[in-house]
Amino acid sequence: MSDTLNRERLLRAYRTMRTIREFEERVHTEFATGDIPGFVHLYAGEEASATGVCMHLRGDDYIASTHRGHGHCIAKGVDPVGMMAEIWGKSTGSCKGKGGSMHIADLSKGMLGANGIVGGGGPLICGTALAAKMKNDKTVGVCFFGDGASNQGTILEAMNLATVWSLPAIFVAENNGYAETTSSSWSVACDNIADRASAFGMPGVIVDGFDFFAVHEAAGEAVRRAREGGGPTLIEVKVSRYYGHFEGDQQTYRAAGEVQKLRDEKDCLLQFRRRVTADGDITDAELGTIDAEVLALIDDSVVRAKADPKPGPDDLLTDVYVSY
């Protein structure tokens, strides 16, 4: 039977999703104060995707992320306190404050980085997956990308290469319906991103991205298949984002009430809570405790991020490939 979701794993899944949500809701609020430098792209609404996939990964598996990378980071085990400091541009951040939201990386956690290049993750994952195959270390690589990136040559080339070399790679297309402000129904020539898989000779499946259990199960099969040498898989996660493309996006391209309806009816945390408490295995009180702990963690991360020092002039030439 595929990875059984026992109590401990269910609670872990909830904590991860709740941490991502709290982190994103808080960045949303804080960004509005003008305190955060640069752009942020929030993952709120898509938590079940990163969580459902990354729960199958080991510490030494790699993921490549997107410009909307906070959720992938947290799900892969990157420290939210360091992430918050990074977003504030502080020297205590995951990348010492030099990357910001769009470049959070933590190689020690197998997180190759958020990525400002749309579709930039595909070739990176082919690289790690090729290394895994040559070393035969049974690790896998997961490339998260969006509906916009599904139209990029890099992703198409990477999927081709992954099949040709039979790489332990999983391509997770998080189709949140919009490439920046363009609806995917206008910009993706085929009707489902998953349909493209057959052209590359790999299985392509679609899952409901609001349903943690659906993502978890499909990803479990894809990861198992990749680890055992079965080759790559494309999973299209149909999902939506609760905020704009970036913070400040007025979202005039979305229908009135679109997001509220999703929050009320499909929200991954709402669904998850209802389903795991139905049989009394997990109580509302237990989930409430996690909510409180996560809130305290995120509060603390913001307090520290605000107080921590910025990188100084001496840091300018450290951690760079070429030092002049």
Partner 1 sequence: MVKSGGITVGVIANPASGRDIRRLTAKASVFSMSEKANMVQRLLGPLGTFAVDRVLMMPDATGIAAAVLRAVQANEAQGRTVWPRVEFVTQELVGGAVDSQTAARLMQDAGAKLIVVLGGDGTHRVVAAAVPDMPLATLSTGTNNVFPDWREATVTGIATALYVTGSVGADIALQRNKRLCVQLGERTETALVDVCVTRLTHVGARAIWEPDTIAELYVAFAEPDAIGLSSIAAMFQLIARDEPRGAYLRCAPNGRQVLAAIAPGVLERIVVDHFENMVPGVTYPVRTKRGSIALDGEREIEFHHGQVPQISLMLNGPPTLNVTATLAAAVNSGVMVDPVVRSVVR
- Separation CA 186–CA 179 (nearest Å): 10
- How far apart are the C-alpha atoms of 249 and 184, rounded to whole Å? 17
Name which of 221 and 315 has its Cβ closer to partner 1.
221
Q: Toward partner 1, which CB reaches closer, 256 or 322?
A: 256
Least Å distance between CB 256 and partner 1? 14
- Within 258-277, the residues that bind partner 1 by CB under 8 A are 275
Provide the minimum distance between the beta carbon of 304 and partner 1 in the complex, in angstroms, as a whole number: 37
Q: Is 204 in the site for partner 1 (CB under 8 A)?
A: yes
236: part of which helix (H) or strand (E)?
strand 233-238
Query: Could you tell me the smallest distance in angstroms from the CB atom of residue 206 to partner 1?
Result: 4
Q: Are 210 and 268 in contact (CB under 8 A)?
A: yes
Q: How many residues bind partner 1 (CB under 8 A)?
A: 31
The candidate with the shortest Cα–Cα distance to 207, out of 180, 168, 174, is 174
Binding mask 216-235 for partner 1 (x = CB under 8 A): xxx--xx--x-------x--
Question: What are 28's two structure tokens?
Answer: 């949303």
Min dist CB 190 to partner 1, Å, is: 7
Q: Is 214 in the site for partner 1 (CB under 8 A)?
A: yes
Binding flag, residue 8, partner 1 (CB under 8 A)? no
Number of other residues whose CB lies within 10 A of the CB of residue 140: 27
Contact 270, 50 (CB under 8 A): no
Which residue, 95, 32, 103, 97, is CA-closest to 69?
Answer: 103
- Asked if 29 touches partner 1 (CB under 8 A), the answer is no
CA 286 to CA 239: how far, in whole Å?
27
Interface with partner 1 in residues 183-202 (CB under 8 A): 185, 190-192, 194-195, 197-198
Residue with token string 């509060």? 299
Q: Cβ of residue 271: shortest distance to partner 1, in angstroms? A: 11
- Which residue, 18 or 225, is less far from partner 1 as judged by CB? 225
Sheet harboring 204-208: ordered strands across? 62-64, 141-146, 169-175, 233-238, 204-208
Collapsing DSSP states into helix, strand and coil, what is residue 39? coil
Q: Contact between 5 and partner 1 (CB under 8 A)?
A: yes
44 touches 25 (CB < 8 A): yes
Residue 62 near partner 1 by CB under 8 A:
no
Smallest gap from Cβ 169 to partner 1, in A, equals 14
Among 83, 162, 169, 207, indicate the residue that binds partner 1 (CB under 8 A): 207
Least Cα distance to 74 among 117, 6, 26, 146 occurs for 26
189 or 322: CB nearest partner 1: 189
* Position 278 contacts partner 1 (CB under 8 A): yes
Phi, psi torsion values for 206, nearest 5 degrees: -115, 135
In the complex, the residues that contact partner 1 under the rule CB under 8 A are: 1-2, 5, 185, 190-192, 194-195, 197-198, 203-207, 211, 213-214, 216-218, 221-222, 225, 233, 236, 275, 278-280
